């Protein structure tokens, strides 16, 4: 809309029209290359079984929605969805609570060793998951947590990145708000949930989005600790399914579409908050 107004306000010179045309000529093919995998996945998922080898076409001309039903019957995708949802919701909820508490402590409370402890927390961001995976795996084994929800949830209940993200947001709110709440007799607990978190709801939502994507796309950790048919999360389930039905491309792509759709929809719905969170923090790779 802004642009239309700008275009209207300024005379459209041939030079500007040419620029717009050149941009379209560059960006349309570039976006096409980036988006072709989605199109190919979708088209294949709707093909009639056994016709994948025929001369290929990019846009669907058959609509075999039965493939989705077949894929869902061949593997317990509903179970995978349910498992992933349980894990994702639990991780989001616990991160909202625990990271908010920790961020509040680092942002507003005064106690000896605060900076040192904050630095120690941040230090965990330089520990790659693969460096701690063997001992973590052994802990889960000693707790006898293999193939349980705890194994997928508890290690991920809080992380330094979420705490950091919220702490940076919290310190930017005017200190007066908090002081006023405290003078009114709010406890720290009440001040956190009634003042600080509502004022920073955008950052909390961004953090929740990151947590969701993380849980939905997670693969290596579930592969190690929860690889039973009943406990598999969606990405793991998809891979096992693909291994079993290797040549059934139509079913395989139907399964892939169902494993991909939710994060894409969620991102498109919340892209503004997502991208601004990413550019503000810039830390998440």
Three-class secondary structure of residue 233 per DSSP:
coil
Instruction: By CB under 8 A, tell whether 37 contacts other proteins.
Output: yes
Instruction: By CB under 8 A, tell whether 30 contacts other proteins.
Output: yes
Instruction: By CB under 8 A, tell whether 116 contacts other proteins.
Output: no
Instruction: By CB under 8 A, tell whether 52 contacts other proteins.
Output: yes
Contact region with other proteins (CB under 8 A), list: 48-56, 67-75, 85-93, 194-202? 48-56
Instruction: By CB under 8 A, tell whether 206 contacts other proteins.
Output: no
State the nearest-atom distance from the C-beta of 66 to other proteins, in Å: 19
Which has the closest alpha carbon to 146: 88, 226, 212, 66? Answer: 226
State the nearest-atom distance from the C-beta of 69 to other proteins, in Å: 19
Of 160, 166, 196, 231, the one binding other proteins by CB under 8 A = 160
Of 5, 8, 11, 34, the one binding other proteins by CB under 8 A = 34
CA 107/CA 118 separation, integer angstroms: 10
Cβ count within 10 A of residue 164? 21
Contact region with other proteins (CB under 8 A), list: 23-31, 61-69, 71-79, 85-93? 23-31
The single residue listed with the structure tokens 């809309």 is 1
Rounded to the nearest angstrom, the gap between the alpha carbon of residue 177 and the centroid of all alpha carbons in its chain is 32
Token couple for 39: 């199109």
State the nearest-atom distance from the C-beta of 252 to other proteins, in Å: 6
Instruction: By CB under 8 A, tell whether 251 contacts other proteins.
Output: no
Instruction: By CB under 8 A, tell whether 269 contacts other proteins.
Output: no
Query: Is the alpha carbon torsion for 54, 59, 62, 65 positive or negative?
Result: positive
Whichever of 44 and 200 has its CB closer to other proteins, that residue is: 44
Q: How many residues bind other proteins (CB under 8 A)?
A: 101
Whichever of 154 and 205 has its CB closer to other proteins, that residue is: 154
Contact region with other proteins (CB under 8 A), list: 64-72, 73-81, 193-201, 263-271? 263-271
Query: Is the alpha carbon torsion for 123, 217, 91, 141 positive or negative?
Result: negative
Query: Is the alpha carbon torsion for 17, 19, 21, 23 positive or negative?
Result: negative
Q: Which of residues 72-111 bind other proteins (CB under 8 A)?
A: 98-99, 101-102, 104-105, 109-111
State the nearest-atom distance from the C-beta of 263 to other proteins, in Å: 5
Whichever of 52 and 66 has its CB closer to other proteins, that residue is: 52
> 76 phi and psi, to 5 degrees?
-75, 65
Instruction: By CB under 8 A, tell whether 183 contacts other proteins.
Output: yes
CA 225/CA 208 separation, integer angstroms: 24
Query: Is the alpha carbon torsion for 232, 233, 237, 239 positive or negative?
Result: negative
Residue 64, judged by CB atoms within 10 A of its CB (0-12, 13-18, 19+), counts as: middle
Q: Which residues of 67-78 are buried (b: 16+ CB within 10 A; e: fewer)?
A: bbebbbebbbbe
Whichever of 228 and 279 has its CB closer to other proteins, that residue is: 279
């Amino acid at each position: 809309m802004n642009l239309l107004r700008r275009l209207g306000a300024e005379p459209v010179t041939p030079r500007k029209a040419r620029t717009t045309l050149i941009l379209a000529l560059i960006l349309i093919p570039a976006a096409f290359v980036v988006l072709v995998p989605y199109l190919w996945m979708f088209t294949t998922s709707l093909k009639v079984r056994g016709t994948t080898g025929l001369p290929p076409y990019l846009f669907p001309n058959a609509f075999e929605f039965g493939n989705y039903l077949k894929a869902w019957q061949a593997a317990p995708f509903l179970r995978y969805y349910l498992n992933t949802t349980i894990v994702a919701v639990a991780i989001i909820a616990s991160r909202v609570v625990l990271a908010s508490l920790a961020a509040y402590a680092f942002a507003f409370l005064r106690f000896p060793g605060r900076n040192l402890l904050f630095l120690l927390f941040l230090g965990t961001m330089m520990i790659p998951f693969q460096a701690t995976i063997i001992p973590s795996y052994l802990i889960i084994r000693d707790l006898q947590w293999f193939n349980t929800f705890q194994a997928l949830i508890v290690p991920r209940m809080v992380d330094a990145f979420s705490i950091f993200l919220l702490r940076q947001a919290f310190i930017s709110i005017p200190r007066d708000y908090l002081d006023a709440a405290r003078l009114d007799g709010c406890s720290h607990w009440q001040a956190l949930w009634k003042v600080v978190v509502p004022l920073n709801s955008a950052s909390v939502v961004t953090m929740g989005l990151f947590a969701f994507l993380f849980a939905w796309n997670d693969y290596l950790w579930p592969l190690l600790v929860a690889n039973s048919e009943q406990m598999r999360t969606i990405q793991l389930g998809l891979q096992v399914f693909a291994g079993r039905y290797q040549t059934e491309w139509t079913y395989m792509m139907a399964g892939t579409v169902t494993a991909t759709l939710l994060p894409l929809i969620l991102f498109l719905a919340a892209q503004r908050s997502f991208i601004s969170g990413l550019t503000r923090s810039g830390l998440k790779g």
